[in-house]
Amino acid sequence: MNRKNRLYFSSDYMAGAHPAILARLTEMNMVHSAGYGTDTFSEAARAKIRAACNAPEADVYFLVGGTQTNAVMIGTMLRPYQGVIAAESGHVSVHEAGAIEFGGHKVLTLPQKDGKLTAAAIRSCLDSYWADANHEHMVMPGMVYLSQPTEFGTLYSLAELREIREVCRTGGISLYVDGARLAYALACPENDVTLPDLAALCDAFYIGGTKCGALFGEAVVIPKHDFIPHLFTMIKQNGALLAKGFVAGIQFETLFTDDLYGKIGRNAIDAADRIRRALAEKGYSFAFPSPTNQIFITLTKERAAALSEAVEMGFWENVGDSHVIMRIATSWATQADDVDRLIEML
Amino acid sequence: MNRKNRLYFSSDYMAGAHPAILARLTEMNMVHSAGYGTDTFSEAARAKIRAACNAPEADVYFLVGGTQTNAVMIGTMLRPYQGVIAAESGHVSVHEAGAIEFGGHKVLTLPQKDGKLTAAAIRSCLDSYWADANHEHMVMPGMVYLSQPTEFGTLYSLAELREIREVCRTGGISLYVDGARLAYALACPENDVTLPDLAALCDAFYIGGTKCGALFGEAVVIPKHDFIPHLFTMIKQNGALLAKGFVAGIQFETLFTDDLYGKIGRNAIDAADRIRRALAEKGYSFAFPSPTNQIFITLTKERAAALSEAVEMGFWENVGDSHVIMRIATSWATQADDVDRLIEML
Amino acid sequence: MNRKNRLYFSSDYMAGAHPAILARLTEMNMVHSAGYGTDTFSEAARAKIRAACNAPEADVYFLVGGTQTNAVMIGTMLRPYQGVIAAESGHVSVHEAGAIEFGGHKVLTLPQKDGKLTAAAIRSCLDSYWADANHEHMVMPGMVYLSQPTEFGTLYSLAELREIREVCRTGGISLYVDGARLAYALACPENDVTLPDLAALCDAFYIGGTKCGALFGEAVVIPKHDFIPHLFTMIKQNGALLAKGFVAGIQFETLFTDDLYGKIGRNAIDAADRIRRALAEKGYSFAFPSPTNQIFITLTKERAAALSEAVEMGFWENVGDSHVIMRIATSWATQADDVDRLIEML
Amino acid sequence: MNRKNRLYFSSDYMAGAHPAILARLTEMNMVHSAGYGTDTFSEAARAKIRAACNAPEADVYFLVGGTQTNAVMIGTMLRPYQGVIAAESGHVSVHEAGAIEFGGHKVLTLPQKDGKLTAAAIRSCLDSYWADANHEHMVMPGMVYLSQPTEFGTLYSLAELREIREVCRTGGISLYVDGARLAYALACPENDVTLPDLAALCDAFYIGGTKCGALFGEAVVIPKHDFIPHLFTMIKQNGALLAKGFVAGIQFETLFTDDLYGKIGRNAIDAADRIRRALAEKGYSFAFPSPTNQIFITLTKERAAALSEAVEMGFWENVGDSHVIMRIATSWATQADDVDRLIEML
């Protein structure tokens, strides 16, 4: 099978940008803009994001990628003696090459269920810390890191998030949500957590661009103005400040115009739902109960190899000697025709 | 004067990307690519850069911005007990919000002349360190940081660079060159340092994209393969790894196709030369002998204010109470008409 | 019961120094010595330690405390992209307030059995890392941290250590042993790991002073000369260099004269063995099979409270709602009379 | 000349501890104490230091050495985006192997006069920072580091300190004083800055033990309780927490009993004053106007070599090709007979 006919469902960051974004970048290309995110496009994008989040006082910053955003935010939200609570499957725990520790902080991992933390586990972690006679010799939990959707494509419900927020509030720690794939949560019928909910419940979160239709970029939202003083300088210090901040600003302005971010999410979810239904009908086994744009199926190694001839999927992990978990991911770029062809092959 | 008629000469990162880059990004937008710089565009860009540098074994990495690149490279080229020698006017010394120190390393600043370090000053710094009876209680110089062109728009000659290289070699330290505006050095008639020269003389350097026609991006060249083992992981750890690395790859492939990087440089230098000649004819006073795309002129505050009505220039610094140094910068985006209009106004 | 009659078995760092050490410090008090460990006492101590370890080329450094020593050694033995493998119960994992992460490195925790790691678990950790398709996005295991005896008072056998060494060798990673209580391992009849064994098997280890009879101090032994270049400067940079290094030197010279370190260990082990036998006879339940100077017993809360009236023990942890694990520790300072009195009370 | 007859004036940390300290350590050696500075000796020492400083609410911590104390205090008093202002001759600027940068912070050096900063220079540094249009890309001055006496043995007057305090107050930054040799300032007739003055003017300072009669130890005084929350844990995290904190506590309790700290200072100052008078009479040239326990004289290289046969002095620096500056330091340990002999030789 030649490359042209091959199907690509391995990830959601394999193609460029949503055409509307490229068109807007092209249209505005020769406009002279101020640097470092102080331009009018970035200001307009901030205004639209604040409106979408119902967070009129929010500070909004545009960073480049997810690991960078997590490292900057966790590093600036914690004091040196504190660590961040995360699921043992969290991106910051596993796949950021130790960026959080490189910044001086311990990731305090808790067991996960379908990629999620529970309020009870967080409370227990806090209680154990404070009850330990030696806690002053230990790393104090200072914040919680969640991802929505999680690394396994699952979702926190509003009730779960509220419960976690309450544990954080009573424990005096912050709540931060990694929304690398947030478009695919927001567009999901099972989801009941809106942007205003996130703004109401989190001390900071980010709206993912890289995996949701932008060339690059993540929009950090800090609902309470100046919650992190001098964050601009710390972004610079972390090498995370874009000189041409307007390139991110234009992208997010476009994403938050005419509900493009919603459309991008729905395209992916519609495609994923069709694939999920077909998989279920054909008796495939799902590894995680994911309702978002990532589908995890358990296959024999032979079946996985056969399918992979025609479809690029993501390898997730081995299950014993005979089976593997493979990931099928849809995105803003997924074409209906390709979904048809994939379903045929399954 | 309305915004439309205003002239913009304040910096070289005020507009988007060279149209050829945007066109190529648009053309390749829906191609499925591997992540993290392992894609074919990035590979092609690397091959072209290796060829342009006459460095067939070079490792080439694409990072996002200058401060990030400096922080990653200095942080990975030094051992913990070492610091980096830089001019007191160097970007790493002044305008990176302490990113180098944030990474654990002292910037060992030396006096500059027109933004440049001398081989003699570096040798003297090394000699002083090793001659000091207490040097084991001090930060060992471990590398030299230069910028070409410098922050003042000046250039190191090939002879100067060779002399510095020799001091580094005999002193057992590394040489790193920040080429944020390298296109504007390479295109400059006064310049005699080529890309192959840089590859022959440096342990690492970067070819600037952000200020030389790209939306963003800097290409790190490490002539000796694996000079910095596991740099990929350390880039990730620094939050500097692009998920869609192909977006940088496409840009650098385009910059190094049909000599676009050269054309971009020449457009800026031609414009700057015309402006310089006009300034000289009209008796303006130059603050630094810069032959590249940045021109620094000393003006009375009144004259600066008057000119600024029509032309956006960059404020550089006050000189006493009555004068200021202003910067005029050209770039790939500078239009001949705008140069004409600027010259008329001077 | 008044303070005078109270028995103290809570820890091994509750009294000053072995009288021979204080006597020697007093005797040498007015001798003028060079600073920073370059004095003749430190040199003599190094020579004696090299001889005791059968490691004539070893570098020996005297640091102040255990957390400091672990942080300095792990921080200087790892490269930035690496982490340290440790038992989840290891001191560096739990009770150093995140000192290792503060230095930029992840602690890669593995499950423990009686406080010990197995060679198989380490090999599996290495294999998993290298087999993972995403390992370049993960923290590379760069060394193994063990404690001998462990935090639970247990011992690695020579066979176990050799097996771990072999896994490290084939995996290309370093082995470091925390010997905070090493005297109490060396003096233990069950122990078959000698100082020369440690020197033959480890890339670095330390011989504990603080908990083994010194006022303070830990002697780092690096069998291969210059295995960590410029360690002196990095010790200084970590704030761990003693100005009056001779105070540590005198102490370790004394500890390694006339087998004082051995005597200190044997005093504690003899006392612990007597207590263990009494506990066993009286039917107490041991929480861990510790043969060294720390004894962990599981008691009802009532029994623990009653005993604590007369004996200060260390609280270890709760076991369900009704029981606790308490620690009884002996040391160089434990008096035979006090052991008699304790046994009577049990 | 044999070692026995040699005179030692090279530094103030060449001998053990004041005999009263060793006696007290010996006397209290077998007392069982709590760990980590929570013991009764440390509490008593804190009470005495609070009384001596007229700072009843002060937090007092005992650390081990000067570089460690500076690194911990500067690291915990600054936020990540801030740096510390220091004289270019300050210990933190030059002789701590980059410990401050290792902790992530830039040392913002200002020119010195006789080792001292001026309030005007600090104000100017602050003004320049805030006036710079790019200050958000630069390191914000967050605190001032002074040493009393300075590295050149000179003293800040109370008027000078008050002026600096006022600049700090209006600039919103903290003031920290390194008192490694504070006993020799306090005992100096020229000095008009008392411990209560320091407590009234500083946000934190330390009372040096290592160079003022202790085996080791520095007492950090933070006049305002909880000015640095969770400092205990951060001390641990920096590897700076003594397990046997009582060893430091006993020493400082002794230093602040019966004015021992004053006596130690006066012994050194009396000796230094006698030497200074003799030097002046004999026409020696003083390099710095130091009234404390350090005397800096400029000698021809020949004269320095000749004197050094009989007297160990500290080499300070070369002055041109023909002269050197040598340091003569007195201390608690300086004997009147040795001063007589030294004066004879001069």
Is any Cβ of chain C less than 8 angstroms from the Cβ of B319? no
Q: Are A101 and C96 within 8 A, CB to CB?
A: no
Q: Are C243 and D210 within 8 A, CB to CB?
A: yes
Rounded distance, CA B75 to CA B229, Å?
Answer: 13
Nearest to C30 by CA among D21, D251, D27, D272: D21
Mind telling me how many Å the CA of D208 is from chain A's nearest CA?
26
Rounded distance, CA D231 to CA A112, Å?
Answer: 33
Q: What is the mean pLDDT of each run of 10 residues along chain C (346 residues)?
A: 75 96 97 97 98 98 98 98 97 96 98 97 97 95 98 98 98 98 98 98 98 98 98 98 98 98 98 98 96 97 95 92 96 96 94
Q: Which residue in chain B has the smallest CA separation from A37?
A: B14
Q: What average pLDDT score do residues B283-301 get?
A: 97
Q: pLDDT (tens digit, 9 = 90+) per residue, D227-250?
A: 999 999 999 999 999 999 999 999
Q: pLDDT (tens digit, 9 = 90+) per residue, D152-200?
A: 999 999 999 999 999 999 999 999 999 999 999 999 999 999 999 999 9
Say if residue D239 is exposed, middle or buried (CB neighbours under 10 Å; 0-12, 13-18, 19+).
Answer: buried
Is any Cβ of chain C less than 8 angstroms from the Cβ of B236? yes
Q: Are D101 and B97 within 8 A, CB to CB?
A: no
Mind telling me how many Å the CA of A141 is from chain C's nearest CA?
11
pLDDT at D2 over 50: no
Rounded distance, CA D78 to CA D104, Å?
Answer: 10
Among the partner-chain residues D104, D136, D233, the one whose CB lies closest to the CB of A81 is: D233
Q: Best interface-test mutation with D: which of A36, A72, A79 has the largest number of D CBs within 10 A?
A: A79
Q: Are B233 and C76 within 8 A, CB to CB?
A: no
Is any Cβ of chain C less than 8 angstroms from the Cβ of B75? yes
Rounded distance, CA A269 to CA A275, Å?
Answer: 10
Rounded distance, CA C152 to CA B43, Å?
Answer: 53
Using a CB-CB distance cutoff of 8 angstroms, which residues of chain C are in contact with residue B79? Answer: 229-230
The per-residue pLDDT of chain D, averaged, comes to 96
Q: Are D72 and C239 within 8 A, CB to CB?
A: yes
Using a CB-CB distance cutoff of 8 angstroms, which residues of chain A are in contact with residue C98? Answer: 81, 83, 105-106, 138-139
Q: Which residue in chain C has the smallest CA separation from A138?
A: C97
pTM for the full predicted model: 0.97
For residue C224, the Cα-to-chain-centroid distance in whole angstroms is 21
% of residues, chain A, pLDDT over 90: 97
Is any Cβ of chain A less than 8 angstroms from the Cβ of C304? no
Q: What average pLDDT score do residues A327-345 get?
A: 96
Q: Would you call A22 helix, strand, or coil by DSSP?
A: helix
Nearest to C70 by CA among C192, C213, C179, C157: C179
Question: Are the beta carbons of C151 and C115 closer than 8 angstroms?
Answer: yes
Q: In terms of DSSP H, where are the helices of B220-335?
A: 231-237, 245-255, 260-281, 301-310
Using a CB-CB distance cutoff of 8 angstroms, which residues of chain D are in contact with residue B107? Answer: 106
Q: Are C140 and B234 within 8 A, CB to CB?
A: no
Q: Are C236 and D8 within 8 A, CB to CB?
A: no
Q: What average pLDDT score do residues B221-228 get?
A: 98
Question: Are the beta carbons of A58 and A189 closer than 8 angstroms?
Answer: no
Total Cβ atoms within 10 A of residue C131? 9
Q: Are D136 and A233 within 8 A, CB to CB?
A: yes
Mind telling me how many Å the CA of D36 is from chain C's nearest CA?
10
Among the partner-chain residues D76, D136, D236, the one whose CB lies closest to the CB of A232 is: D136
The per-residue DSSP string of A229-275 comes to TTHHHHHHHTT---TTHHHHHHHHHHHTSTTHHHHHHHHHHHHHHHH
Classify strands D107-110 and B311-312 as parallel, antiparallel or unpaired. Answer: unpaired
Using a CB-CB distance cutoff of 8 angstroms, which residues of chain D are in contact with residue A76? Answer: 80
Q: Would you call B251 helix, strand, or coil by DSSP?
A: helix
Residue D99's pLDDT band (cuts 50, 70, 90): very high
Q: Are A8 and B98 within 8 A, CB to CB?
A: no
Using a CB-CB distance cutoff of 8 angstroms, which residues of chain D are in contact with residue A234? Answer: 80-81
The 3-state secondary structure of C70-88 reads HHHHHHHHCCCCEEEEEEC
Is any Cβ of chain D less than 8 angstroms from the Cβ of C1? no
A140-147 sheet: strands from edge to edge: A59-63, A218-222, A204-208, A174-179, A140-147, A82-87, A107-110
Sign of the Cα pseudo-torsion (B143, B147, B150, B156, in order): positive
Residue A5's pLDDT band (cuts 50, 70, 90): confident
Q: Are C106 and A107 within 8 A, CB to CB?
A: yes
Q: Are C97 and A138 within 8 A, CB to CB?
A: yes
Q: Are C81 and B230 within 8 A, CB to CB?
A: yes
Q: Are C236 and D97 within 8 A, CB to CB?
A: yes
Q: What is the pLDDT of residue D5?
A: 80
Q: Domains of chain A, with CATH numbers?
A: 7-15+260-345 (3.90.1150.10), 19-255 (3.40.640.10)
Q: What is the pLDDT of residue C257?
A: 98
Q: Are A101 and C106 within 8 A, CB to CB?
A: yes
Q: Best interface-test mutation with D: which of A38, A76, A81, A135 has the largest number of D CBs within 10 A?
A: A81
Q: Are B215 and A25 within 8 A, CB to CB?
A: yes
Q: pLDDT (tens digit, 9 = 90+) per residue, A148-206?
A: 999 999 999 999 999 999 999 999 999 999 999 999 999 999 999 999 999 999 999 99
Residue B5's pLDDT band (cuts 50, 70, 90): confident
The amino acid at C82: Q
Q: Which residue in chain B has the smallest CA separation from D129?
A: B94
Rounded distance, CA B185 to CA B190, Å?
Answer: 9
Among the partner-chain residues B104, B137, B230, the one whose CB lies closest to the CB of C236 is: B137
The per-residue pLDDT of chain A, averaged, comes to 96
Write out the two tokens for B238: 């620094």
Q: pLDDT (tens digit, 9 = 90+) per residue, A34-91?
A: 999 999 999 999 999 999 999 999 999 999 999 999 999 999 999 999 999 999 999 9
Is any Cβ of chain D less than 8 angstroms from the Cβ of A172? no
Q: Are C234 and B81 within 8 A, CB to CB?
A: yes
Q: What is the pLDDT of residue C32?
A: 95
pLDDT at A1 over 50: no
Is any Cβ of chain A less than 8 angstroms from the Cβ of D75? yes
Question: Are the beta carbons of C178 and C91 closer than 8 angstroms?
Answer: yes
Question: Are the beta carbons of B139 and D97 closer than 8 angstroms?
Answer: yes
Is any Cβ of chain A less than 8 angstroms from the Cβ of B224? no
C touches which chains (3+ CB pairs under 8 A)? A, B, D
Mind telling me how many Å the CA of B107 is from chain D's nearest CA?
9
Rounded distance, CA D29 to CA A118, Å?
Answer: 51
The per-residue pLDDT of chain B, averaged, comes to 96
Nearest to D90 by CA among D45, D43, D149: D149
Q: Are D137 and A233 within 8 A, CB to CB?
A: yes
Q: Best interface-test mutation with B: which of A40, A62, A92, A216 has the largest number of B CBs within 10 A?
A: A216
Using a CB-CB distance cutoff of 8 angstroms, which residues of chain C are in contact with residue A103? Answer: 104
Q: Are A102 and C96 within 8 A, CB to CB?
A: no
Rounded distance, CA B135 to CA C64, Å?
Answer: 23
Mind telling me how many Å the CA of C102 is from chain A's nearest CA?
4
Q: Best interface-test mutation with A: which of D82, D136, D173, D238 has the largest number of A CBs within 10 A?
A: D136
Among the partner-chain residues D96, D105, D136, the one whose CB lies closest to the CB of B101 is: D105
The amino acid at D87: A
CA distances from residue A167 to A148, A160, A171, B134, B343 in whole angstroms, order as listed: 18, 11, 6, 53, 65
Is any Cβ of chain B less than 8 angstroms from the Cβ of C232? yes
Is any Cβ of chain C less than 8 angstroms from the Cβ of D74? no
Give residue for tokens 């342990």.
Answer: B203
Q: What average pLDDT score do residues B146-156 get?
A: 98
Q: What is the pLDDT of residue A173?
A: 98
Q: Could you say which residues from 78 to 137 on chain C have a Cβ atom under 8 Å away from some Cβ of chain A?
A: 80-81, 83, 94-98, 101-107, 133-134, 136-137
